[in-house]
Amino acid sequence: MGMSKAEFNFTTPISREEALKFHPMTLAFIGDAVQSLYARTRISLSSSSKTGVLHKEVTKVVKAVAQARVAEVLLPEFDEVEADVFRRARNCQIQTSAKHADRSEYRRASGFEAVLGFHYITGNNERLFYILEKCFEENK
């Protein structure tokens, strides 16, 4: 009953140019939802555990500290556009903070989520799934 990738695509992709016009925190908002849905789907389809256990597994991957760690690993691999999206979101003035992350981790996590959101709305599923899978590899 295992699954290596969750296939989903709810949007008609928009151009990279159009996606870059979005506010970086809007991209992060979308990216957060994409990662959460991906992690919940992947973990749920590979386990018969109760939802409380599933939730604990999901939060290992979808939390600011884990996202910041993966961002640091992936940063050298980012192309110029990904690095720009990441930097713009990381540098935004953020009013809230994560419970278990310091401010710099939270900012890097926002940058990471923005990159996910960017790839999702542009329909770059191959790169999106690569990054999403890195989260699981890095947070085992």
> Is residue 123 included in any domain, yes or no?
yes
Report how far residue 8's alpha carbon sits from residue 78's, in angstroms, rounded to the nearest whole number: 23
3-class secondary-structure state, position 127: helix
Q: pLDDT confidence of 21, banded at 50, 70, 90?
A: very high
Output phi, psi for 123, to 5 deg. Answer: 75, 20
Q: What confidence tens digit (pLDDT) does each residue in 69-124 have?
A: 999 999 999 999 999 999 999 998 876 666 667 788 889 999 999 999 999 999 99
- Reply yes or no on whether the pLDDT at 1 is more than 70: no
Query: Residue 62 maps to which CATH number?
Result: 1.10.1520.10
Q: pLDDT confidence of 50, banded at 50, 70, 90?
A: confident
Range of the domain at 115: 16-138
Number of folded domains in the chain?
Answer: 1
Report how far residue 83's alpha carbon sits from residue 86's, in angstroms, rounded to the nearest whole number: 5
Residues acting as catalytic residues:
32
Mean pLDDT of the chain: 85
> Is residue 50 included in any domain, yes or no?
yes
Side-chain-side CA neighbours of residue 100 (13 Å) = 8
> Is residue 10 included in any domain, yes or no?
no
> Is residue 11 included in any domain, yes or no?
no
Residue found by looking up tokens 């996606």 in the block = 19
> Is residue 67 included in any domain, yes or no?
yes
Q: pLDDT confidence of 27, banded at 50, 70, 90?
A: very high
Amino acid, single-letter form, for residue 58: V
> Is residue 69 included in any domain, yes or no?
yes
